[in-house]
Amino acid sequence: MSYNIKYLIRPIDSEIEGEINRMNMLEFTAVLFSGLIAAYVIILILYHVQRQQDIHRCQEIIKKNSLTFYQAFSRINNKKKREAVYAVYAFCRYADNLADEDHNRDALEELEEELTLYKEGVNIHHFRWRALRTTTKPFYQASYDYKPFYDMIEGQKRDLNHQGFETLDELLTYCYLVAGTVGLMLIPILANEHIEELEKFAIELGYAMQITNILRDIGEDYQNHRIYIPREMMKNANYSFDDLAHGRINYEFRALFEELATLAEGYFSTSLDSIYLFPEDSRTPLALSIILYKEILNSCRENGYDVFSKKHTVSEEKKNLLIQDYLDSI
């Protein structure tokens, strides 16, 4: 019997070729899988780098614009909470600058539109929005309505068309819009219990801090054609607009200053009394922010109530003393 050798070899060649193809496919799959893993790792690294850069920019904003707040909130041990506070502050500072420095209503309208898109889950490619999304996600529930953010923007819009206030109630409404809202933004970050009581805390602390700002900045605000002291209170104190225009620091002015300062200090005190409602890791930073901010009023007093020619701050030496006194007391 004779065999044609080419017919014997062909099946063997086909089997080898199939095996080679299978090996090539496995190698290709392995290389592809490795490539996908490498790409994923690169994306994670880039995401982490950008996230840290965004948070760092927010941190620099609070450090530059409010060293008092930074010195207080940088003491939060929980890194996630600390970073979320920085991101919220950066948003608020931007909104405030659009009103106070840029006087830009269109930009505030745009910010409000961006907030609505952000609330609906749209990713906005700007460091403020990215930082806000990544840092507050663990604290803001999916149902969070962002009302304090909208109210903050509304307060800044009103500031662009400021006509002064007739009554104390009108002033307090303004204080809620531009300052109490900030506290409400921070409550979900800093606490997860006693929310109703802490919302009252946030609003009243906002009253205290904004009244303090108003008293400290009376002269600067007047130069910018803004008067925040209620007309009713000025009339009752017998302090005229002419007195204000000439920066007169008389008995009537000191009485008017003290009436508002005493109101602010009352809100500061009740806020400090409510610190126990917060988790332990949030108490010290919040207490320090209250103590340090309240001291601005004393700085104004110590400088003869002259809030017309300079802007008073608390010295670093005094801050360090107050911080140490508080830490020693707990």
Q: What is the DSSP letter of 123?
A: P
N-terminal to C-terminal alpha carbon distance within the chain: 106
In sequence order, the 6+-apart residues with CB closer than 8 A to the CB of 50 are 130
201 and 299, same structural domain? Answer: yes
Task: Indicate the pTM of the whole model.
Answer: 0.84
Give the pLDDT confidence score for residue 38 in this predicted structure.
Answer: 67
Give, in degrees to the nearest 5, the angle at Cα 136 between 135 and 142.
140
145 and 66, same structural domain? Answer: yes
Residue 110 domain-assigned (yes or no): yes
Own/partner contacts of 138-141, CB < 8 Å, gap of 24 or more, are 138/80, 138/84, 139/81, 139/84, 139/188, 139/189, 140/188, 141/188
- Rounded distance between C-alpha atoms, residue 116 and residue 147, angstroms: 11
Would you put residue 254 in left (φ > 0), alpha (ψ -120 to 50) or beta?
alpha
Name the domain boundary from 94, 125, 160: 160
138, 215, 211, 150: which is closest to 184 by C-alpha? Answer: 150
265 phi and psi angles, rounded to 5 deg: -65, -30
Q: What is the DSSP letter of 103?
A: -
Residue 30 domain-assigned (yes or no): no
Distances (CA, A) of 284 to 118, 128, 264, 275, 292: 32, 27, 20, 8, 12
Give the pLDDT confidence score for residue 325 in this predicted structure.
Answer: 93
140 and 97, same structural domain? Answer: yes
Residue 35 domain-assigned (yes or no): no
Per-run averaged pLDDT (10 residues), the chain, 330 residues? 49 56 65 68 67 93 91 92 97 95 94 97 94 96 95 96 96 98 96 92 97 97 95 98 97 98 98 94 93 96 96 93 92
- Rounded distance between C-alpha atoms, residue 180 and residue 151, angstroms: 10
278 and 246, same structural domain? Answer: yes
Structure-token match 């089997």, residue found:
15
217 and 128, same structural domain? Answer: no
CATH number for 196: 1.10.600.10
- Rounded distance between C-alpha atoms, residue 187 and residue 141, angstroms: 13
In sequence order, the 6+-apart residues with CB closer than 8 A to the CB of 294 are 208, 212, 264, 265, 268
DSSP 3-state percent helix, strand, coil across the chain (nearest 5): 75, 0, 25
170, 198, 174: which is closest to 184 by C-alpha? Answer: 198
- Rounded distance between C-alpha atoms, residue 236 and residue 228, angstroms: 15
- Rounded distance between C-alpha atoms, residue 268 and residue 289, angstroms: 10
Domain housing 213:
162-330
209 and 150, same structural domain? Answer: no
C-alpha torsion angle, residues 97, 100, 101, 107 (rounded to 10): 60
